[in-house]
Amino acid sequence: MEFTKMHGTGNDYVYVNCMEQELPNPGAISEYISHRRFGIGSDGLIMICKSDVADFKMRIFNADASEAKMCGNGSRCIAKYVYDKGLTDKTTFTLETLSGIKTIDVFLGEDGKVAEASIDMGEPIFKCADIPMISDHFMFVDQGLVLEEDVVYNGTAISVGNPHFVTFVDDVDALDLEKLGPKFEKHKLFPENVNTEFVQVIDKNTVKFRVWERGSGETWACGTGATAVCVATIMLGHAGKKGEELTVIAKGGTLKLTHLANNHVILRGPAVTVFEGVIDIPDEVINK
């Protein structure tokens, strides 16, 4: 299997050109190649495919073999892949995802290759039934989520194509996410599990966050997570304003987000090619 390893602010995936034929059993392949000691090492696998409704289609699989609906960082890297490799000469194009069709703009560096990209992440969803979240509330905004007896985290549930829970803390670096993250991810109120963002306000225009992604654990960035962070931060009045750019710092780098008046959120950030190669996939993985 020929592949390209790429990352957006440290959120790294293995990308495969599947314009001619999609991979067999991609979930199992993702699990195999994602291992950071016995594989390539990544947060998952992204297939770049043909689409009947957009310029390209993305299928994304987490490191645990589960299929995800959307990835903001992955979408930006797809933009770099298809432009740099000559699969398109458009600087604005559409991408089909399981959470809808997204529009992406690319920004070229001095070498003529894509340095950054921005993507319209669409409108955030707050209705609990649509996130999905099991709750008596119509929306779960700045409410207490009980993790265990006497342990409650106030937070906001948002869907940005996949479910997120955004909670604000005093010091994100002090958190033991390996212990804390799974308690949120597998919480009984989220039937499809949940991504969790732990956010620290730095100043009136800047926040910092760490993310625990369902199916992947802690990742160095998350585009949909940063989008949820932007929306919750502005809505609760912690930092930023609608229509103005908010700086969102992830473990792997900085993203710029703008919550527009029409309720869409624009995510802009870097896309980086790390290396390319070929890996043999054992038959037992393909036939798993």
Q: What is the pLDDT of residues 245-275, one digit of tens each?
A: 999 999 999 999 999 999 999 999 999 999 9
Residue 222 is a catalytic residue = yes
pLDDT the model gives residue 229? 98
Average pLDDT taken over every residue of the chain: 97
Share of the chain above pLDDT 90, in %: 98
Residue with tokens 């001619």: 20
273 is in an annotated binding site: no
CATH 3.10.310.10 intervals, the chain: 2-119+271-286, 128-263
| Topology given in CATH for the domain delimited by 128-263 | Diaminopimelate Epimerase; Chain A, domain 1 (3.10.310)
**DSSP result, 22-84:** PPSSHHHHHHHHH-TTTSS--SEEEEEE--SSSSEEEEEEETTSPEES--HHHHHHHHHHHHH
Say if residue 254 carries a ligand binding annotation: no
Per annotation, catalytic residue among 49, 77, 128, 222: 222
Catalytic residue among 71, 77, 128, 230: 71
pLDDT tens string 42-83:
999 999 999 999 999 999 999 999 999 999 999 999 999 999
What's residue 149's pLDDT?
83
Q: What's the CATH number of domain 2-119+271-286, 3.10.310.10, 3.20.20.70, 2.60.40.730, 3.40.50.1820?
A: 3.10.310.10
